[in-house]
Amino acid sequence: MEIYVVIPPRPLDIYLYRCNSRFHVEPLLDMFKEKETYGILVMDNSGATFATLKGRHLEIVKSITSGISSKHRAGGQSARRFERLREAEINEYYKRVANYANQIFLGIPDLKGLIIGGPGPSKQYFVDGDYLHYTLKNKILAVVDTSYVDEQGVKEIVRRSSEILKDVRYVEEKNIIQQFLAEVGKDGLAVYGFDEVKKSLEAGNVKTLLLSEDLDLMLISVKCSNCGYSENLTMKPADLVKFEFDLSKRQCPKCGNQGLNIVDRKPLIDFFTELAEKLNVNVEMISSSHEEGEMLLNSFGGVAAILKYKG
């Protein structure tokens, strides 16, 4: 027996439990594929947020407030003097934003580009001014209008820059779910839930299978030893012990005897991925790190499919 210890380049944010004949190292391999990082800065004269996007990981690195005085003049100050003071505050704030941007983004060796956004003209004044390090200035891919300067603004930038970021896994996953939701909205080529997806897979009518990485359900196969009656159930792993205990006292709905036993148990993700592999169906594992991924898990049960044709 040989044992290899692999230290991933960053912490794993998914949990996979598999019981079959091979090691599932796809999440580790994906990490090594995800080499390109995008810097995101969203700002206006009230504050700024700095973020990075790499693969399927969108990370908010830092948020700051500007400390700039409001546009209302303090009592006793002339309009011109107040304006000069405010302009000085804005200039110092822009320098502070640039210093944080230089610290955060210049240290990323695989920085693909920088996208800057925010409401109003402040972002453009910042970009046009002599604030950012020339290396970062040369990496600006787009300047985008947003409504917010917080985490919501960062997500707006990602959404509005989908063409630039089209090959980033985070954006790919969001686009896949948006395609599925569009089909659901028009009652088109989409199904979800255990029974409907399983039926469509077995009929050869699935183009893309969507599974949530956080799908924490077991598929339990129950069979009666007396009459052969069988049924499949899904449940949380934590509920399995109590279910097995109660099953020994339960009567078979077909013959009425107490002969029900668990004959197979398998993570639901394994069941669907193995079935999809047999049928040569494309499988998309979707993270819950974004809103669309959360929707797949919480609103559609973590199992869905885009169909080839209307069933």
In-domain check, residue 194? yes
79: confidence class by pLDDT, cuts 50, 70, 90 = confident
Q: Is residue 76 domain-shared with residue 104, that is, in the same domain?
A: yes
Q: Is residue 176 domain-shared with residue 116, that is, in the same domain?
A: no
The pTM of the whole model exceeds 0.85: no
Q: Is residue 56 domain-shared with residue 146, that is, in the same domain?
A: yes
In-domain check, residue 14? no
Select from 144, 166, 188 the last residue of a domain: 166
What domain count does the chain have?
2
Select from 128, 146, 166 the last residue of a domain: 166
Q: Is residue 104 domain-shared with residue 229, that is, in the same domain?
A: no
More confident residue, 43 or 249: 43
pLDDT at 19: 63
Tokens of 229: 């009656």
Q: For residue 75, is pLDDT > 60?
A: no
Q: For residue 25, is pLDDT > 90?
A: no
Mean of pLDDT over the chain: 89
In whole angstroms, how far apart are CA 311 and each of 44, 51, 188, 238? 50, 43, 9, 36
User: What pLDDT, in 10s, does the model give residues 128-164?
Assistant: 999 999 999 999 999 999 999 999 999 999 999 989 9
Residues of the chain with pLDDT > 90: what percent? Answer: 74
User: What pLDDT, in 10s, does the model give residues 184-240?
Assistant: 999 889 999 999 999 999 999 999 999 999 999 999 999 999 999 999 999 999 999
Select from 140, 166, 192 the last residue of a domain: 166
pLDDT at 86: 86
In-domain check, residue 32? no
Q: Is residue 197 domain-shared with residue 259, that is, in the same domain?
A: yes
Q: What is the DSSP string of 93-125?
A: HHHHHHHHHHHHHTT-TTEEEEEEEESSSHHHH
Q: For residue 27, is pLDDT > 80?
A: no
Q: Residue 66 — φ and ψ, nearest 5°?
A: -85, -40
In-domain check, residue 210? yes
Tokens of 49: 């947020």
pLDDT at 187: 86
In-domain check, residue 26? no
In-domain check, residue 30? no
For residue 239, give the DSSP letter.
G
Q: For residue 269, is pLDDT > 70?
A: yes
More confident residue, 173 or 75: 173
Asked if residue 144 lies in contact with residue 161, where contact means CB atoms within 8 angstroms, the answer is yes
Q: For residue 74, is pLDDT > 60?
A: no
Q: Is residue 304 domain-shared with residue 181, that is, in the same domain?
A: yes
Q: Is residue 229 domain-shared with residue 251, that is, in the same domain?
A: yes
Segment among 7-11, 172-176, 192-196 with least mean pLDDT: 7-11
In-domain check, residue 103? yes
Tell me the mean pLDDT in the region 9-31: 64
Q: Which strands, in side-by-side order, build the sheet including 303-307? A: 190-192, 303-307, 206-212, 282-286
CATH number, domain containing residue 99: 3.30.420.60
Segment among 21-35, 54-68, 207-221, 257-271 with least mean pLDDT: 21-35
Contacts of 137 (CB under 8 A, 6+ apart): 127
Q: Is residue 160 domain-shared with residue 172, that is, in the same domain?
A: no
User: What pLDDT, in 10s, does the model give residues 55-65?
Assistant: 888 999 999 99
Q: Is residue 161 domain-shared with residue 205, that is, in the same domain?
A: no
Q: For residue 32, is pLDDT > 70?
A: no
pLDDT at 132: 96
Which residues constitute the domain of residue 137? 37-166
More confident residue, 8 or 178: 178
pLDDT at 70: 75
More confident residue, 72 or 58: 58
CATH number, domain containing residue 224: 3.30.1330.30
Q: Is residue 108 domain-shared with residue 212, that is, in the same domain?
A: no
Tell me the mean pLDDT in the region 17-23: 63
Q: For residue 300, is pLDDT > 90?
A: yes
pLDDT at 167: 85
Q: Is residue 175 domain-shared with residue 161, that is, in the same domain?
A: no
In-domain check, residue 17? no
Angle at 134 between CA 132 and CA 138, to 5 degrees: 105
Q: Is residue 86 domain-shared with residue 58, that is, in the same domain?
A: yes
Crossing angle (nearest 10°) for helices 268-278 and 194-202:
20
pLDDT at 109: 87
